[in-house]
Amino acid sequence: MNAPDARPDLRQIDTWIFDLDNTLYPAECELLALCDERMTDFTAQQTGLGREEARALQRRYLHEHGTTLAGLMANHGVDPHEFLDHAHDIPLDRLIPDPRLADGLARLPGRRLVFTNGSQKHAARVLDALGIAGLFEGVFAVDTAPGFIPKPQAPAFANMTQAHAVSPRSSAFFEDTERNLGPAAELGMTTVLVGATLAAPPADFVHHHAASLPDFLLSARVLEQAA
């Protein structure tokens, strides 16, 4: 990781790619805990396992396949649309628009995209609840991806960069899940790990750390936008 810099230099970036959950809103919202409960219910229903075992299986699939969904599809033939609708059917009242985040995003020159292992519908709801939907040119969601291939699998990155004609060398990718930054760095993107605390020293493929996304975006050196 680059030495901590009060004003990170991102003047080479013209494409800004953001993970959604726990990146565009703070993990402290614990919104994913609600999705997690619903995924456990669904996994238990589909496999006939008890809740405890279903949860363990869910964790294993998340670890081995990138998402619980990918594991359920590969091993249990679940309908991905049914899974996603079930998992994301949660109230969003924990999400509160942050004007500093909107300002930080708005000052970035070029395009802003969302790249999420959640669904299109979930992304649209969350961006709307955060009041930042209008700031993004596009969303590449797991149900946009051919075969529902999730991050951190390499084809997910190939599909996303192709779908949005992304040039990795002038792109930055923001994520709270460290392992998802590896393939981005491999492609030549600048990577930013988002999250208040670092559990351990970050991996070599992490170029910057943003304890607070709004602070990071507002302080970064970026190309001046043409008036």
User: Given the rule CB under 5 A, which residues bind Mg ion?
Assistant: 19, 21-22, 176
Residue 46 or 122 having the CB closest to Mg ion: 122
Long-range contacts of 119-125 (CB under 8 A, 24+ apart): 119/84, 119/85, 119/88, 119/143, 120/144, 121/84, 121/85, 121/88, 122/20, 122/84, 122/88, 123/20, 125/88, 125/92
Angle between helices 31-47 and 51-65 (to 10 degrees): 110
How far apart are CB 177 and Mg ion at their closest, in Å? 5
Residue 19 or 178 having the CB closest to Mg ion: 19
How far apart are CB 167 and Mg ion at their closest, in Å? 23
How far apart are CB 36 and Mg ion at their closest, in Å? 12
Residue 15 or 22 having the CB closest to Mg ion: 22
How far apart are CB 194 and Mg ion at their closest, in Å? 8
Residue 21 or 57 having the CB closest to Mg ion: 21
How far is it, in rounded angstroms, from Cα 114 to Cα 24?
9
